[in-house]
Amino acid sequence: MTNSEQKPIYLDTTYSTEERVQDLIAHMTLEEKISQMTNTSDAIGRLDIPAYDWWSECLHGVARAGRATVFPQSIGLAATFDRNLVYKVATAISDEARARYHDKNNQLKNTQYLGLTFWSPNINIFRDPRWGRGQETYGEDPYLTAELGKAFVKGLQGSDPRYLKVAACAKHFVVHSGPEKLRHKFNAIVSKKDLFETYLPAFKALVDAGVEAIMGAYNRVNDEPCCGSKTLLQDILRDKWAFKGHIVSDCWAIVDFYEHHKITSSAVESAALAVNNGCNLNCGSTFPFLLAAVNEGLVNEKTIDEALSYLLKTRFKLGMFDPEDQIPYSKLSPDIICSSEHRNLAREAAVKSIVLLRNENNLLPLSKNKHRNILVVGPNAGNIDVLLGNYHGVSEKMITILEGVVGKADKNAKVSYRAGALLNEEYPNPVNYALFEVYNVDVIIAVFGLQPTLEGEEGAAILSTEVGDRFDIQLPQNQLNFLQKIKDSGTPVVLILTGGSPVSFPKDIADAILYVWYPGEQGGGAVADILFGYENPSGKLPVTFPKSLDDVPDFKDYNMINRTYRYSKVDPLFPFGFGLHYSQLTYKLLSISSTVLKEGEDIHLTIEVSNNGKYNTEEVLQLYVTDVEASVEVPLYSLKDFKRLNLSAGESSQITFDINTEMLKLINEKGERILEPGEFLITIGGSSPSKRSIELGDSPPIIQKIEVR
C-alpha cells in the first residue's frame, strides 16, 4: 500500500470493530479467507495482515514459550477456593504474555505458543479420578469451577473497554473427561438433566462473563462430534446463550470426524460439517479443504464470511491491526516476567493450595528444636517434574521440596536424603540404606505420590499404560510397601504426596499427610513453610478422594449416578472440600433473617467462626444446599457459595451468607431450571457435608432448615 492510497476502513481505528471486520472481509479473496481459518493463519502481504498462530497455552502460567512464572497446576489453584487469588494469578500470566508479545527483541512473535490467544482455562468436570487431564481442571464441582473460571478469564482478558489483554478460551466443550485412549472415537451418552446440571453450568457462566473463545472436544456427545455439533455449537452456544466469541476445534479433532467417528467420509465433508454447524477456527489441517467444499456446493461463501468474522473480531479486539501506542498493554516491560512480585504470588498460591489430610498427635508443624535430625526420602523430593504438572513454562527459580526443607530447617539441623524407593516399580536391590537410617533420625519426610510422566494428556504421560490415565487410584504397591516399612520403625513420618488427581492409601500410612498437587516453581518453599509452621495449611480438596475404584462407576459411563460428592452415597477416603488446619475452628449460628423464602427475596444467615488454636489461619467457609422435597432426583448436596477469611489465633469473626431462590432451583428431566416449593437444608462448614469429615477431625457444621413457598 502506497502513502498516496487512502487508508482502508479496516486500518482506521475511528471505525467500529464490526465495520472494520466487514471491510477487511470485502477486500479478501475466498482463498485468503480460508487461509485465516486455521491455527497457523497465513500472512497476506497486500492487506498488511501478518502471519499468526492462534495456539498458545496458559493453564497455570504462560506455557511452552520459554521463561515464565510457573504457578501451581489448575487443580492446585482450585484447592485454594480463592477467587481473588486466581484472578491475581491470571493477571500476572496475561501481564507476562503481553510483555513478551511486545518485546522488541522477540524474534518469534506470532509463532506457536507466543501469541495472544490462549486456550485456557480447562473447565471440564473432573468426574472420574482416573482421568489424567483432571489436573488441568478446577475439580468436580460445577459451581467452584464456574467461580474460579470466571476469575481466571477476567484476569486474562483485562478490563479495558476496547481491547482484550489476551483472549481466553474455555475448553473442552463439552462432556469431556476421558478415557484419553478413546477420546478420538468415544461417544459420550448423557441425559439432558446431567448435561444442564453438571456438564454445562461452568461453560454458561464463562460465556456470561465474556470469555472470548470456546474450544470443542474430541469426542462425540449423543452421536454428534463436539466440534461439528449443531446441538452444542449452534442451538446452545449461539442461539440459547448468545455467545459472541469464536469457536475453535481441538487439535486435529476434525480429522477424527472421518478417521475415527465415521460421521463423514472425507476431509472435505468434515470441514463442511464443522463450519456449517458453527466451528470458526480449525486447529489442524482440515479447513484448507473448505475451498473444495465451496466448489462442491457443501458450504457457501456467506457461511465462510460469517465464520471468519468471529475470528477477525478477536484479532481486532487484541489490537493486532492498530498502532501499538493505542494499546494499553503494549508498554508492559519484559522485566515483569519471572519478577519477584510474580514469584511471591506463586509462593502464596502454592501455600494456599496445600491440603492437610492428617495430623496425628499434632506432629505438624515440626519443631526446629525437637526435629533436628531429619531424613528426607522419596524420588519426588528432588524432582522438578512434580513442581510443573502439564502445560507449563520454565523458570530459573524452581525450588524442589528437598531444597525447601533444607532452606527452612534450623541451620544447625542435619538433613539427609535417600530416594528409598521408586514411584511405580519395585526397588531391584535387596540392600536399601534408607531402611537402616530411619531408626536414627527424629522425623522422616517421605515425598511420594504421582508425577506428570504417570498421569496427563495423551502423548505427555510417557509412563502411563493408559495413554495418560490411571488404571487404579491406589498408590503404587511398592510405595505402600516402603512407607509401611518406615512407619514400622516407630520414627514419626510426614508423608508429602504430589499429584494432580485423587489417590487412595491406608489412612494410617503416616502420622501426618500433606497433599501438595503440582505446586509450581515455588512449591518446595511453600511445602517447607507449612512443614515448619511459617504458614498454616488452608487448602481444601476440589475433588473427592474415593477409598477405591470399587466405589466408582465404569470410566466410560457419563451418567452422574454415584459420581462426585454430589451424587455418591459411599463414604469417601477424603471428602470434597476437606482440609485440616493446625488450629481447631468452631462455627456458631448467630442469626437468620427468616426461615421462609419467597421468589425475589433473600435470607441473610450470619455465623461466627472462632479460631481456638494458637496459630493464625485462613478458613474456607462452604455453603451447601440440599433439596429435601424435590420431584426429581437431585444432588445430595450442592456447593452454592464459599468465602475465605483470615483468623488470628484466638480470634472470632462474623460472616454473612445471602441465600436466594436462584441458588435453590433444580434441573428437571428436560434440562430446564425451575424452582419448586418445599423444604431445603443449608449446611455451612469447612467441608462438604459428610460424617467422614468429622471422623477426620473437621469441626461440626451448621445445619439450618428453610422453606420455599
CA dist 450 and 466 (Å) reads: 15
Q: What is the DSSP string of 442-510?
A: SEEEEEEE--TTTSSSTTT-TT-TBTTB-S--BPPHHHHHHHHHHHTT-S-EEEEEE-SS--B--TTSS
What is each CA distance from 360 to 368, 502, 522, 581, 582, in whole angstroms? 18, 21, 27, 12, 11
CA dist 268 and 181 (Å) reads: 26
CA dist 435 and 420 (Å) reads: 8
Interior/surface letters 435-465, b for 16+ CB within 10 angstroms, e for the rest? bebbeebbbbbbbbbbbbbbbbbbebbeebe
Q: Which residues contact 6 (CB under 8 A, 6 or more apart)?
A: none
Told to judge if 455 belongs to the known catalytic residues of this protein, a careful annotator would answer yes
Question: Residue 706: beta bridge partners?
Answer: 680
Determine contact, residues 661/601, Cβ cutoff 8 Å. yes
Dihedral sign, Cα of residue 475, residue 479, residue 482, residue 487: negative
Supply φ then ψ for residue 288, to 5 degrees.
-55, -20
CA dist 84 and 643 (Å) reads: 11
| Beta strand spans in 278-412 (E) | 355-359, 373-377
CB atoms inside a 10 Å sphere around CB 567:
20
Dihedral sign, Cα of residue 260, residue 266, residue 272, residue 275: positive
Closest CA to 59 of 138, 151, 135, 121: 121
The SS3 call for residue 352 is helix
Cα distance between the two ends of the chain: 69
Write out the three cell numbers for 525.
518453599
* Amino acid making up residue 605: L
Largest CA distance in the chain: 86
Question: Residue 678: beta bridge partners?
Answer: 708
Q: DSSP code of 21?
A: H
Q: DSSP code of 63?
A: B
Closest CA to 194 of 268, 125, 97: 125
Instruction: Return the CA Rg of the chain.
Output: 26
> How many Cα atoms sit within 13 Å of 25 on the Cβ side?
22
Which of 53, 82, 224, 455 is labelled catalytic? Answer: 455
The SS3 call for residue 672 is coil
Q: What is the DSSP string of 243-298?
A: --SEEEPPTTTTHHHHHTS-SSSSHHHHHHHHHHTT--BBSSSSGGGHHHHHHTTS
CA dist 148 and 82 (Å) reads: 8
Write out the three cell numbers for 647.
483468623
CA dist 216 and 237 (Å) reads: 11
Supply φ then ψ for residue 177, to 5 degrees.
-165, 50
Which of 57, 197, 250, 627 is labelled catalytic? Answer: 250
CB atoms inside a 10 Å sphere around CB 678:
14
Told to judge if 19 belongs to the known catalytic residues of this protein, a careful annotator would answer no
| Residues tagged active-site | 250, 455
